[in-house]
A and B are shown apart, each in its own frame.
Chain A
């Protein structure tokens, strides 16, 4: 899976556009971990992009590199018209205010020694000059918006709450300086308000029953606040419902990009099919997972040549070893990086045939 290529990027208005992102880490003995290799994606206003893959696929690194928590080795991150990779220090922090992040472990995302009110107020305290209204009021509103009793919880600590409640508090903290979007998109100049939420496995640490609560909440908030979201997860079952578009990744590369329902109805990449077939009770028309994927994931220190999935792919041929597949359209807004996609390539190909 190469997934190099930008055929899936769109021309219209985007809030976030990441192009040709490369992330490499130095490992011991001077070896290089290729965590993310030439990955591109964009996000249109109000859209939710699901970023799916298993451990080591680079999805978390992409989230961190987009936020500039890790400095990318190469590539651009355009947000609100500025390339974040060219900024640093205070200008970067200021330019990035419109992007907020939610992490996997909600309990450890909250400083154990601080009280809920202060935790949620943090975003306002960091940028006091932006504050035009009563900060405490905004904190209460944000807490109520995520379903936490503001008055009863203000003076409590994170460990007094369940995992689901902690995740709600984290979401309130991310959105505390957002105002409900009465106006539609195109507010342009209001770049300091959160407009993009990057969620890194936000429900993986939660019970199945609580996951649904948080997913419903995120759906409500997205409409209410006019947010765009990048939803990172290892679990295709969780991502389907919340995403408009889904990007499947494997070992630092993109496999497939498609609208949510289409990805489940017509998965084209062998790895996507294997992921779907592994979901318990998936109810889809797929052979058993064991027939779709075998072996162990290769080391990112020494990724396979050509398509990185070829070592585990039942369809792999000689071509997959020699030639890296480019992302190309299989139909409309559905892109796949595979020499032997499951769905036959229709005639109206818009990508570059290899």
Chain B
């Protein structure tokens, strides 16, 4: 088993902290420039005799001096003051005003929105230099003038960001819930919406801050400077000496550049923290050693060919909270033509099992060991080309939500034909003919015109039929269906399950159906594997497991299927509690904490696999006696 990683990322990364330190250092220097042992920036070296004119950077004058012997270091430090004051004031003003306008526009929409958005459009279209020249000509070049102009121009981006975020949040259920509780508009804005947009605003504020500093520098460079020494002015002053004394320009320019970069990095860090809370930044994909040889050569066990052969598979995910043991020592086989149901509650590892086969994970750090053979290809160790070929041709997948799985801006024909031309080696004409054929097979009426439609023009059931057609495009040997009917209506669910059964009839295509609902597997699958907390706890022929479940968890799952024969208001059977965290699964039987018959042995000792004949096995210390009351059917 691979050694789980114990070193977890700090989250924000080194660049963020270096950038933040630079900003803090800058702020401290600007604040205490008068008390620190720094020369007077206006003192002329030719008079004080402390600094030579055009002294090169060195121990005496760190950043050198200009033609009059003014200390450049002192000037850069003092120049940080107007940069920071201007940046901070403008950012605070523009961000506050922009946030208020954006929230109002996004929340109330209608006329408020029209007016606010028209205002931002005007502000963005306004020629900034003309405004600056005009205001400067009449009001002078004081700090206030610059603050006023930059604020007026800076409001629009904040308004747009906040309006967009608010539009999205206003549709969220927690905002609807607040409205349903009778919260006033003001309360909803301040309690529900603002806290959720504040981090995006903050993130942009750092970038806006940098923009202000850069803008001031650019303006000084063309002579539109403030009434005091700024970095922009220092760069401008050094310009005539660029050839002989390049440091006079390069040093203030570098300081300004690093500062702008630092603000951007901090802004990105804050923005990232808003979006990502738990995903780690560890990039790793490790595969453990092969399991024992006697287990591996099982590719031809039994009378029929194994399409999927999973042996001692363990998948660990490295997340920000620790290592999640998503799949723990799981083995199962699916023969050609067979349908296997993978059943269990959310968080039991079903989806991670499927992702382990596909090699797609929600986090970047993954350790897998064991073996997954798909039609003879070792999916953990094969090279990328072989693996992708197997994924493209031998495996078809049917997702839970067909709407998000289809590309909304591409027509159905393009999406169905792509795998056929990409992996199947068909020409466009052949692929189109096959696509038509497939749509007909999956029961889509008028397939010729449906091929030309976009996903949103189809109903949920039709979209899922398209997904099935897509999955079947290359005649896969194995279809992986992850809760294919959960997002669909009841009548459609029945149709889709029947369709999947009909399509497989007579072919040797195998299927793995992942579902949390035991009720849908009967009649549609041959075998069941019940998963709990990352392990398979019972497996056997579907009818047999449903009629005579051995593991206490399987029994509990079957009992929780709604029973239409019960009188209204009768007490429903439940499984108390919830599955254990896979960060630190309990020793012994993982179901023990929720099991009605668990004893001390269950809590300490992992149950061994018990075979009850006919391919039926379970891992439970207290299997059910032969039960009849849970076996019911139509």
**Are A and B subunits of one complex?**
yes
Residues of A near any B CB (own CB < 8 A): 54-55, 67, 69, 90, 93-94, 96-97, 100-101, 103-105, 108-114, 122-123, 126-127, 159, 162-165, 170, 173-174, 207-213, 215-216, 219, 234-238, 240-244, 260-261, 264, 274-284, 289-290, 293, 296-297
Chain B residues with CB below 8 A from A278, complex form: 490-491, 493-494
Chain A residues with CB below 8 A from B180, complex form: 67, 69, 100-101
Partner of A209, one of B345, B564, B565: B345
User: Is B428 part of the contact surface with A, judged by Cβ < 8 Å?
Assistant: no
User: Is B612 part of the contact surface with A, judged by Cβ < 8 Å?
Assistant: no
Interface pairs A-B: 3 shortest CB-CB: A93-B182, A54-B489, A212-B572
Inter-chain contact A209/B491, CB cutoff 8 Å: no
Chain A residues with CB below 8 A from B556, complex form: 209
A108-B174 in contact given A113-B196, A114-B195 (Cβ < 8 Å): yes
Chain B residues with CB below 8 A from A170, complex form: 177
User: Of all chain B residues, which has the CB nearest A263?
Assistant: B568
User: Of all chain A residues, which has the CB nearest B460?
Assistant: A55
Given contacts A237-B564, A281-B522, 14 further A-B contacts (CB under 8 A): A69-B176, A93-B182, A100-B180, A103-B173, A114-B191, A122-B181, A126-B182, A209-B557, A210-B345, A240-B568, A274-B491, A278-B490, A289-B494, A296-B462
Complex Cα distance, B492 from A233, in Å, reads: 15
Contact code string B517-529 (vs A, CB < 8 Å = 1, else 0): 1111011000000
CB within 8 Å of A: which B517-575 residues? 517-520, 522-523, 556-557, 560-575
Chain A residues with CB below 8 A from B1, complex form: none
Chain B residues with CB below 8 A from A122, complex form: 178, 181, 183, 191
Inter-chain contact A93/B569, CB cutoff 8 Å: no
Inter-chain contact A280/B195, CB cutoff 8 Å: no
Inter-chain contact B634/A283, CB cutoff 8 Å: yes
CB within 8 Å of A: which B242-261 residues? none
Complex Cα distance, B277 from A52, in Å, reads: 38
A105-B173 in contact given A208-B517, A209-B560 (Cβ < 8 Å): yes
Chain B residues with CB below 8 A from A97, complex form: 182
User: Is B346 part of the contact surface with A, judged by Cβ < 8 Å?
Assistant: yes
Chain A residues with CB below 8 A from B181, complex form: 100, 122-123, 126, 173-174
Residues of B near any A CB (own CB < 8 A): 172-174, 176-184, 187, 191-192, 195-196, 277, 345-347, 445, 459-462, 489-495, 497-498, 516-520, 522-523, 556-557, 560-576, 578, 632-634
Chain B residues with CB below 8 A from A290, complex form: 494-495, 498
Complex Cα distance, B180 from A94, in Å, reads: 11
Inter-chain contact B572/A216, CB cutoff 8 Å: yes
Complex Cα distance, B560 from A279, in Å, reads: 15
In the assembled complex, the CB of A9 is this many whole angstroms from the nearest CB of chain B, namely: 21
For this complex, 14 residue pairs linking A to B, each with C-beta atoms less than 8 Å apart, are A54-B490, A111-B196, A126-B183, A126-B184, A126-B187, A208-B516, A208-B557, A208-B561, A209-B574, A210-B574, A280-B494, A281-B633, A283-B565, A296-B445
User: Of all chain B residues, which has the CB nearest A213?
Assistant: B574
Complex Cα distance, B417 from A341, in Å, reads: 46
User: Of all chain B residues, which has the CB nearest A52?
Assistant: B490
Partner of B518, one of A94, A164, A208, A213: A208
Complex Cα distance, B522 from A211, in Å, reads: 20
Inter-chain contact A69/B179, CB cutoff 8 Å: yes
Inter-chain contact A208/B560, CB cutoff 8 Å: yes
Complex Cα distance, B567 from A65, in Å, reads: 31
Inter-chain contact A215/B572, CB cutoff 8 Å: yes
Complex Cα distance, B633 from A284, in Å, reads: 10
Complex Cα distance, B571 from A300, in Å, reads: 38
Complex Cα distance, B634 from A54, in Å, reads: 23
In the assembled complex, the CB of A30 is this many whole angstroms from the nearest CB of chain B, namely: 18
Inter-chain contact A209/B569, CB cutoff 8 Å: no
Chain B residues with CB below 8 A from A264, complex form: 564
Chain A residues with CB below 8 A from B461, complex form: 296
Complex Cα distance, B490 from A55, in Å, reads: 10
Complex Cα distance, B487 from A54, in Å, reads: 11
User: Of all chain B residues, which has the CB nearest A158?
Assistant: B174
Chain B residues with CB below 8 A from A67, complex form: 180
Inter-chain contact A241/B568, CB cutoff 8 Å: yes
In the assembled complex, the CB of A266 is this many whole angstroms from the nearest CB of chain B, namely: 13
User: Of all chain A residues, which has the CB nearest B491?
Assistant: A278
Inter-chain contact A281/B632, CB cutoff 8 Å: yes
Inter-chain contact B634/A96, CB cutoff 8 Å: no
Inter-chain contact B568/A244, CB cutoff 8 Å: yes
Inter-chain contact A163/B196, CB cutoff 8 Å: no
Partner of A280, one of B172, B495, B520: B520
Chain A residues with CB below 8 A from B445, complex form: 296
Complex Cα distance, B345 from A111, in Å, reads: 25
Partner of A241, one of B177, B491, B557, B566: B566
Chain B residues with CB below 8 A from A242, complex form: 568-569
Partner of B570, one of A165, A241, A277, A280: A241
Chain A residues with CB below 8 A from B633, complex form: 281, 283
Chain B residues with CB below 8 A from A284, complex form: 564, 634
Chain B residues with CB below 8 A from A111, complex form: 174, 178, 191-192, 195-196
Chain B residues with CB below 8 A from A241, complex form: 562, 566, 568-570, 572
A104-B489 in contact given A240-B564, A260-B568 (Cβ < 8 Å): no
Chain A residues with CB below 8 A from B572, complex form: 212, 215-216, 241
Partner of B345, one of A114, A207, A236, A276: A207
A283-B196 in contact given A69-B179, A212-B574, A236-B490 (Cβ < 8 Å): no
In the assembled complex, the CB of A126 is this many whole angstroms from the nearest CB of chain B, namely: 5
User: Of all chain B residues, which has the CB nearest A174?
Assistant: B181
Complex Cα distance, B180 from A174, in Å, reads: 10
Inter-chain contact A237/B568, CB cutoff 8 Å: no
Chain A residues with CB below 8 A from B518, complex form: 208
Chain B residues with CB below 8 A from A100, complex form: 180-181
Inter-chain contact A94/B489, CB cutoff 8 Å: no
User: Of all chain B residues, which has the CB nearest A90?
Assistant: B184
Inter-chain contact A216/B574, CB cutoff 8 Å: yes
Chain A residues with CB below 8 A from B182, complex form: 93-94, 96-97, 126-127
Partner of B176, one of A103, A275, A279, A281: A103
Chain B residues with CB below 8 A from A55, complex form: 460, 489
Complex Cα distance, B519 from A114, in Å, reads: 37
Chain A residues with CB below 8 A from B490, complex form: 54, 234-236, 275, 278-279
Inter-chain contact B560/A219, CB cutoff 8 Å: no
User: Of all chain A residues, which has the CB nearest B516?
Assistant: A207
In the assembled complex, the CB of B559 is this many whole angstroms from the nearest CB of chain A, namely: 9
